[in-house]
């Protein structure tokens, strides 16, 4: 007997937000009632073992008004233009928690993060791992960002770091590993409620 289908949609969406997105999508095979439920889960969690159009297709078919969490981990190189599009769509969907883990072993192609990311009003947590960022704009404002994690960022890190600290009034946790052979993270945590200097 199926005890899950009669549950309210909100509870089913909550349950489907726990496994990786590919697993949540497989529930569409259970019955007609489940066919489109995954499209309303406010989370994209994808670990790509090889090049795939999965993320692009997910973003096209996704129907939730807000994409609360986007966690993408790439094992092979993807075109920087695709990555830029994925991140732009996430910002347009009001992403709150964004974690992007680029391939640490492949060639370091420059990624142009979409300009809208640098002024995202909804972003609360941002993690960029092994991301070679170029064309950082001078206008950066993360009004809601509380947690920032960076690992092996590009040489523009110092400039970006200074701009972020000045334009991120709610930042409370900054964690970064600036160089490849550095095994320890540097973590700075603010407890006060006033803005960061």
- Report d(CA 56, CA 37) in Å as an integer: 18
SS3 of residue 116 by DSSP: helix
Q: Tens digits of per-residue pLDDT, 131-173? A: 766 677 777 888 999 998 877 665 555 566 667 777 788 888 8
Whether pLDDT at 182 is above 80: no
DSSP states along 150-195:
EES--TTHHHHHHHHHHT-TT--EEEEE-STT--SPEEEE--SSSP
pTM of the model: 0.78
Are 32 and 49 spatial neighbours (Cβ–Cβ below 8 Å)?
A: no
SS3 of residue 93 by DSSP: coil
Q: Tens digits of per-residue pLDDT, 118-133? A: 889 999 999 988 776 6
Domain boundaries, the chain: 42-189
């Amino acid at each position: 007997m199926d005890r899950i289908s009669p549950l309210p949609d909100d509870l089913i969406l909550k349950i489907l937000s726990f496994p990786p997105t590919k697993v949540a999508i497989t529930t569409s095979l259970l019955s007609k009632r489940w066919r489109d439920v995954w499209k309303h889960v406010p989370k994209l969690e994808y670990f790509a073992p090889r090049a795939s159009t999965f993320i692009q297709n997910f973003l096209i078919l996704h129907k939730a008004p807000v994409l609360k969490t986007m966690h993408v981990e790439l094992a092979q190189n993807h075109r920087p233009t695709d990555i830029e599009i994925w991140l732009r769509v996430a910002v347009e969907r009001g992403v709150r928690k964004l974690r992007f883990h680029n391939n640490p072993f492949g060639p370091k192609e420059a990624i142009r993060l979409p300009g809208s990311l640098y002024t995202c009003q909804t972003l609360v947590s941002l993690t960029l791992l092994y991301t070679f960022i170029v064309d950082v704009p001078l206008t950066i404002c993360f009004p809601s960002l509380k947690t920032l994690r960076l690992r092996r960022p590009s040489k523009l890190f110092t400039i970006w770091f200074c701009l972020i600290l000045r334009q991120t009034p709610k930042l409370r946790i900054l964690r970064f590993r600036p160089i490849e052979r550095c095994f320890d993270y540097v973590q700075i945590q603010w407890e006060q409620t006033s803005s960061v200097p």
